[in-house]
Structures are given as C-alpha cells and as structure tokens.
Chain A
Amino acid sequence: MVPLYWYMLLSAAVFCIGVYGFLARRNVILMFISIELMLNAVNINLVAISHYMEDLAGQILSFFVITVAAAEAAIGLAIIIALFRNKETVHVDEMKEMQG
C-alpha cells in the first residue's frame, strides 16, 4: 500500500513543474501544456485523497476537471491557431496589443 503522502508529493512535484513551465516558457503551446500539468496534479491529489477518505466525491470531481480541461483545451487551441494565423508566431511577448 503506497502511503498517501507519496501521492501528494507526486502531485506537488507535477504542479510545481507546471507552474515553472508556465512562468518560464514563452511558447504559447508549452504554456498551455503547463496548465494541463497543473490540472492533472490537482486530479492526482483528488483521486488519492478520495481513495484515502473512502469517499467517491473526489473521483467524481476529477472527472469534471478532466471534462472542463478538455473543453478548455479545445477552445484554447482554437484561439492559439487563430492567433498564429494572424501573427505568424506563438511567442507570447509578441502578443501585447492589450497593454495600457
């Protein structure tokens, strides 16, 4: 039986990788992948704690997260493609028309 804190450590590690990737990378696609990593870190946490607490609510919630992530990925990729068509780039520093 793997203890709970291993799962939590794994989750924290994956989350931190996601945060680092999101802050450090300038490529929109990679930033997007980093967001997915963070979401999945949360999912690991949810499932592990759900198992530990013997309560299925956490696992159900993780399904919701996966669904929402899928939808978000679809829309996000669509926006990225639209941006690429317009600007011929996926580098976020080039995309700052909205600055004050």
Chain B
Amino acid sequence: MSAYLLIPFLPLFAFFVNILFGRNFIKGQAHWIAVPAVTVSCLVSWVIALKMFMSHDPQIINEDLYTWISSGGFRASVGFLIDQLTAVMLIVVTTVSMLVHIYSIGYMHGEKGYYRFFSFLSLFTFSMLMLVMANNILQLYFGWEAVGLCSYFLIGYYYEKKSASDAGKKAFIVNRFGDFGFGLGIIMIFLTLGTVHYAEVFGSIGTLTGQGIVVLGFQMDVITLIALLLFCGAVGKSAQLPLHVWLPDAMEGPTPVSALIHAATMVTAGVFMVARFSPIFNLSPVAMAVVAVTGAFTAIFAGSIALVQRDIKRIIAYSTCSQLGYMFLACGVGAYGAGIFHLYTHAFFKALLFLGAGSVMHAMGGELDIFKMGGLKKKLPYTYWTFLIATLSISGFPLLAGFISKDEILFLAFASGTTVGKFVWVVGVITAVLTAFYSFRVFYLTFHGEFRSDIEEMKKHAVEHGHDPHHLLHEAPWTMRIPLLLLAFGAVTAGWIGIPAALGGHNKFAHFMEPVVGHPEVHAGHATEYILMALAIAIFIGGLLFARHMYITNRDLADKMAKKFSFAHYLLWNKYFIDELYHFTIIRPTMWVSKSFIVGFSDGKIIEGIVNGVPRAIGQISGFIRHVQNGLVHRYATVMGFAFLAIVAIAFIWR
C-alpha cells in the first residue's frame, strides 16, 4: 500500500460513512467526517506534488492496483498514474475541494440535507480524483461519468424546487450528447490499437498515421476521427459551444457546488482530457484546429452573454465558459502547458468569485440580481476585498495569477505562427476586453454605489421563508471567511510559479509540464511578448475604466447603450436564443415523437399488445381445455380404458 492511495479513497470512505449513518446518527455533524478526510488527502497531494516539483528527475508513479475487466483480448485495470499533469490536477482538485468543504460548513448550516450534501461532495471529490489519477482510458471514463452523476445530484440538491431538478436533468442529458462521442472514441481506440492503457496507446498511436477509414461515406483520417470523438466528450463536460447550455442552469445548485464542480474541477476535466491525450491530438492538425476554434468561439460567445446578464451566479458561470474556452484555445495551438496553467490559476480565482458570490447571497437572503445589490463594500469587508482580488486576477491585473496564465496563452497563440493561431489570438484579445468589463461590472454593481433594495422588505421576506433575518447584510461566519482568504492568497500567488522568462522568471511550470505535454513552437521574441503584455495591461485598464464609467460615474449610460444597441442587447440578454433553438429543433420534436408515436403506437399498441395479448390467449385456450376435467371418476376410467385399448391396437398395427 502506498500513501498516494489515501488521496482518492479517504473521500470515498467519508462518503460511505456519511451516506450510511448521516440521516439517523451524524446529521449536522457530517463535516467532522468529510472535512478531515479531504484535508488529509489534500496534504498527501501537496507532499507528492511538491516532491515531484522539487526534484530534477521526478518519480512517476504508474501502478495497476488490480485487473478490473478481463474479457478476451480486452483488459482494463484499476491503476494509478501520477505524473506532472496529474500532480497539478491533484493540487487543484484537493485544495479547492477542501476549501469548499470548509466553506460549506457555514454556508449549508442548518440545511435539511446537510449530511447528503457532504456525502455527495466527498463522492464527487473521489470521482474527480479517480478521473485525474487513472492510468487507462476506461477508468478515466468511470471518473468522467461519476463526476457527471455527482454534478446531477448536487445541482438538483434542492430537488423540491422544479427549476433545480430540471437543471440537474438538463446537465445530465446535455452531457450525454458529448459522452456518446467520447465513448465512441474510446471504442475506436480499442478497435484500432487493442488496448486502453495510456502508455500502450500513446506508444502505438503513431502507427495509425495516414490510415483512413470510411465513416458515413466520408473518407476520414483515423487519428482525426478518434481525436474529434474524444473532443466531443470535452465539449459536453467543459460546456463549450454548442453544448454549453447546461452550465448556466447548473447554477441552481448550492453555491459551494458551483465553485467546486462548475468552476474549478469538473468542467476543467475536458481540458485535462485533451492535455492527457495530447499525443493523439498532436498527430491531427485538423482536430487541433477544431479544438482551438471551438475554444475561441466559446470564449467570445460566453463572454459577450456575460456582459448583459443580471444574475450574479450566471454571469460568473458564463465567465467560466469563456475561460474554459481560453484553455481549449491554448490546447488547440499546442500550448497544453499554458492551458493547464490557466486551468490551475482559474481554479483559484473562479472558486473565489463563486464563494464570494455565495457570501453575498448569504448576506442578501438569497437574492441574485446584481441590480438589487450595491454598496455592500462597508457591510461585507472580507467579501469585498477577496472579491476584488478575484476580479483583478480574472481581468488581468499585472502579476496576479490570471494575468500571467492568460498572457501566456495569448502569447503562445500569437507566436504559434499559424493562421489558426493568429485568428484565435484576435478572438482571445477581444474576449479579454469583455472579461475585464463584465468582471468589473459585477464588482461595481455589487459592492459600490448605493444599496438598491429595501432592507425592511428583505427582512420580511426572510422571515416568511424561515430564515434568520439577522444574517442579512452581515459578514458570513469564519468558516466561510477562511476559505475566501486562502483562495485570495492563491488567486494572487498561484501564477508566480510560471512567470515567463520575459519578466525575469524561469517559467518553471512550463518546464515542469514539458515531459508530459511537450512545448509548443514559439516564433516570436521577448520584444513581441512585451508588446503583447502592454496590450493586455491596456485592455485591463480600459475594461476597468469603462465599467466604472458606465456603472458608477455615469449611471444612465448603461440604459442608453442598451437602447441604442437594442437588438444586440436583446440578443445577448436572451443568450443568442440557443436554448430556444434547442427547444424547437430537439426538445419539441423529441416530445412530439414520444407522445404521438412511442406512447400512442409502439408502446400502446405493440408492447402492450404483446404484454396483454399473450396472457389473454393463454386464458382462452385453458378455458377451452378445462372442460376435459369434469371431476367424474368413471368418465376418467372410461377414457383411460379406451385409450389403453387404442394404444394396444396401435402397437399391434405398427408391428
């Protein structure tokens, strides 16, 4: 037994204890089991990751625990691989998970399903760790589906609420579309290479170069097909276009869930997967271009929607979509290291934004509309300062985590020397403007200006819903403040490990990741990098000042702009009508087919016909035969006698 096994299995243990004994015995003390378990697993992760980071020749763990499935030529095991990529993911997952666990003690205090919440949070942590620590694709797929399931449970945590249970179902079903492709990709890998273990797959994938396959009448490159199918899974899980619709709705779940699952960890699984399969993607320029362009489009698309929304959590959710787009953009130009770097910094500042939003909601009695907030700076000092740090980090304040990683992505995209690289760079820069603007829009509307709600009414409302009105407009308890402070620390410092050479750093992160994901070609010098950096800083300042001008100094401007560009505003407010589009092209036809054809014909006539017809026929036949048995003994005897004679007669004749 090795210590690393503690990392996934302690949260699993916490899950079993809480789910089995939570309802009747542990109840409100569930955190005493979940938090220590996740904390220990977090400490072990840090020890392993730091050991790898410090050593010049890092020890890579790759062990099979036991054979999971062995059937004919197919063999899959439960095994763990801890290399540089996994080490980074371990730190992200366990650290954010631990902080969210602690935060939830305060945030979920007194909830009815307290133990249920903590058990699913632990189960999620376990699944996510299985996903990142897998050494074969099937185990990755297990983790992939298990995190989806936990996400479903936790989005629908308030299952009495129709919108919450619907959002859970939506997340699950939309993910099915992506996972279908992912599953096919895994099957394709097994069919062509005969194995699902990473080492063997990556070792032999090169032999497929140039091989073609006919799919639906189209001649396709096998590797491109595999890469695109795998990317389907990433599109669903990481909420990229066109399967992004579930993520904003997923905000129906409790805020810690949004922070952990829908910002820091699960949604980044797609990026992790693409980076993990970089040996496959690298062999297919087509797939790489698809990844880069999908990422770029999602970044600008989600960023533009975030400009006009009013719901604080939804804005941050669209921001997550947009940042995930950046990560895919990076992977698509070959800069997997930069993509993972952004994943790692994003986990800190985005989790911080969500937890800060949770703290605001806590103080506002569940209110989500930023136009009903304002002036919370004085009331919530801790939340204010930590939220400010997160906002600065995401919008690119120099030397904060978000600045360094985003800058590296944009630089590597620009320097990749390809047309796709240049194109996504332009999109990325425009998105950076949007990011700075909408981040400060949320910040100013929430914390500055004057309070735009009626406090008396809020108190009345809180009492009606059985909440304690004393929580209103007060800072959250310590259990919620400490994670905010720690994450703020991360949002500032997380990027320092990857300071680029142009700024006098060594970009240790990229060198650390290089053995796993390689390093992209760079066709630009330091001078270009300085120019791009200056541009990024200009964008940050521009976005900040514009948001300030629009929402603080000149309050009417926002409305005027909305009127002037009424069509654009209408389009953005309704999220480009993607939900409506799916409603009319997929949901309506599906419902129509189910109602008219499946319920009316195939279910009603064929299935029920068979199910009811067979017993009815048997009943009729037996109703006829039963008359033979009339209960008269001598009738039986007569039949028996004549039958005997008949048999004897036949025996004679036959001879």
Chain A contact residues, CB within 8 Å of chain B: 19, 22-24, 26, 31, 92-93, 95-100
Contacts known (A92-B632, A92-B633, A96-B632); A23 close to B627, Cβ less than 8 A = no
User: Across the interface, do A22 and B634 meet the contact criterion of CB distance under 8 Å?
Assistant: yes
The 5 closest A-B pairs by CB, nearest first: A96-B631, A99-B631, A100-B626, A100-B629, A92-B633
Contacts known (A19-B641, A23-B641); A100 close to B634, Cβ less than 8 A = no
A31-B633, A99-B632 are known contacts; what are 19 more A-B pairs with Cβ within 8 Å? A19-B641, A22-B634, A23-B634, A23-B637, A23-B641, A92-B632, A92-B633, A95-B631, A96-B631, A96-B632, A97-B631, A98-B631, A99-B631, A100-B625, A100-B626, A100-B627, A100-B628, A100-B629, A100-B631
User: Which A residue's beta carbon lies closest to that of B623?
Assistant: A100
User: Across the interface, do A98 and B638 meet the contact criterion of CB distance under 8 Å?
Assistant: no
Contacts known (A19-B641, A23-B641); A99 close to B630, Cβ less than 8 A = yes
B630 / chain A contacts, CB cutoff of 8 Å: 96, 99-100
21 of the cross-chain contacts (CB-CB < 8 Å) are A22-B637, A23-B634, A23-B641, A26-B634, A31-B633, A31-B634, A92-B632, A92-B633, A92-B634, A93-B632, A95-B631, A97-B631, A98-B629, A98-B631, A99-B629, A99-B630, A99-B631, A99-B632, A100-B627, A100-B629, A100-B631
A23 / chain B contacts, CB cutoff of 8 Å: 634, 637-638, 641
User: Which B residue's beta carbon lies closest to that of A100?
Assistant: B626
Q: What is the number of contacts between chain A and chain B, taking CB atoms within 8 Å?
A: 34
CA distance A2 to B22 in the complex (A): 97
* Chain B interface extent, by class: 10 to 19
B641 / chain A contacts, CB cutoff of 8 Å: 19, 23
CA distance A92 to B634 in the complex (A): 8
User: Which A residue's beta carbon lies closest to that of B626?
Assistant: A100
A100 / chain B contacts, CB cutoff of 8 Å: 625-631
User: Which A residue's beta carbon lies closest to that of B638?
Assistant: A23
In angstroms, how far is the closest chain B Cβ from the Cβ of A32? 11
In angstroms, how far is the closest chain A Cβ from the Cβ of B287? 72
In chain B, positions 145-196 with a C-beta closer than 8 Å to chain A are none
Chain B window 617-628, contacts with chain A (Cβ cutoff 8 Å), 1 for yes, 0 for no: 000000001111
In angstroms, how far is the closest chain A Cβ from the Cβ of B623? 9
In angstroms, how far is the closest chain B Cβ from the Cβ of A64? 22
A98 / chain B contacts, CB cutoff of 8 Å: 629, 631
CA distance A97 to B633 in the complex (A): 11
CA distance A26 to B626 in the complex (A): 23
A24 / chain B contacts, CB cutoff of 8 Å: 634
User: Which B residue's beta carbon lies closest to that of A28?
Assistant: B633
B625 / chain A contacts, CB cutoff of 8 Å: 100
B628 / chain A contacts, CB cutoff of 8 Å: 100
In angstroms, how far is the closest chain A Cβ from the Cβ of B636? 10
In angstroms, how far is the closest chain B Cβ from the Cβ of A97? 7
User: Which A residue's beta carbon lies closest to that of B629?
Assistant: A100
In angstroms, how far is the closest chain B Cβ from the Cβ of A59? 26
CA distance A74 to B629 in the complex (A): 27
A97 / chain B contacts, CB cutoff of 8 Å: 631
B632 / chain A contacts, CB cutoff of 8 Å: 92-93, 96, 99
B633 / chain A contacts, CB cutoff of 8 Å: 31, 92, 95
**Which of B625, B627, B633, B638 has the most C-beta atoms of chain A within 10 angstroms of its own C-beta?**
B633
CA distance A77 to B202 in the complex (A): 86
CA distance A77 to B320 in the complex (A): 91
A26 / chain B contacts, CB cutoff of 8 Å: 634
CA distance A56 to B625 in the complex (A): 47
Chain B window 590-634, contacts with chain A (Cβ cutoff 8 Å), 1 for yes, 0 for no: 000000000000000000000000000000000001111111111
In angstroms, how far is the closest chain A Cβ from the Cβ of B86? 73
CA distance A24 to B631 in the complex (A): 16
Chain B window 623-655, contacts with chain A (Cβ cutoff 8 Å), 1 for yes, 0 for no: 001111111111001100100000000000000
User: Which B residue's beta carbon lies closest to that of A19?
Assistant: B641
CA distance A96 to B633 in the complex (A): 8
In chain B, positions 470-490 with a C-beta closer than 8 Å to chain A are none
In angstroms, how far is the closest chain B Cβ from the Cβ of A75? 17
B629 / chain A contacts, CB cutoff of 8 Å: 98-100
In angstroms, how far is the closest chain B Cβ from the Cβ of A92? 5
CA distance A100 to B629 in the complex (A): 5
CA distance A59 to B629 in the complex (A): 39
User: Which B residue's beta carbon lies closest to that of A24?
Assistant: B634
CA distance A19 to B640 in the complex (A): 11
A19 / chain B contacts, CB cutoff of 8 Å: 641
CA distance A58 to B625 in the complex (A): 42
In angstroms, how far is the closest chain A Cβ from the Cβ of B235? 66
B626 / chain A contacts, CB cutoff of 8 Å: 100
CA distance A95 to B613 in the complex (A): 36
In angstroms, how far is the closest chain A Cβ from the Cβ of B589? 53
CA distance A19 to B641 in the complex (A): 9
CA distance A96 to B629 in the complex (A): 10
CA distance A24 to B633 in the complex (A): 11
CA distance A98 to B629 in the complex (A): 8
CA distance A56 to B210 in the complex (A): 92
CA distance A24 to B638 in the complex (A): 10
User: Which B residue's beta carbon lies closest to that of A92?
Assistant: B633
CA distance A95 to B636 in the complex (A): 13
B631 / chain A contacts, CB cutoff of 8 Å: 95-100
CA distance A73 to B88 in the complex (A): 90
In angstroms, how far is the closest chain B Cβ from the Cβ of A66? 23
In angstroms, how far is the closest chain B Cβ from the Cβ of A19? 7
User: Which B residue's beta carbon lies closest to that of A96?
Assistant: B631
User: Which B residue's beta carbon lies closest to that of A98?
Assistant: B631
In angstroms, how far is the closest chain B Cβ from the Cβ of A83? 12
CA distance A31 to B632 in the complex (A): 13
CA distance A98 to B637 in the complex (A): 16
A22 / chain B contacts, CB cutoff of 8 Å: 634, 637
A92 / chain B contacts, CB cutoff of 8 Å: 632-634
CA distance A92 to B636 in the complex (A): 12
CA distance A78 to B633 in the complex (A): 18
User: Which A residue's beta carbon lies closest to that of B625?
Assistant: A100
B637 / chain A contacts, CB cutoff of 8 Å: 22-23
In angstroms, how far is the closest chain B Cβ from the Cβ of A7? 21
CA distance A99 to B632 in the complex (A): 8
A93 / chain B contacts, CB cutoff of 8 Å: 632
In chain B, positions 125-149 with a C-beta closer than 8 Å to chain A are none
User: Which A residue's beta carbon lies closest to that of B633?
Assistant: A92
CA distance A100 to B638 in the complex (A): 18
CA distance A59 to B633 in the complex (A): 32
In angstroms, how far is the closest chain B Cβ from the Cβ of A55? 25
In chain B, positions 198-221 with a C-beta closer than 8 Å to chain A are none
B634 / chain A contacts, CB cutoff of 8 Å: 22-24, 26, 31, 92
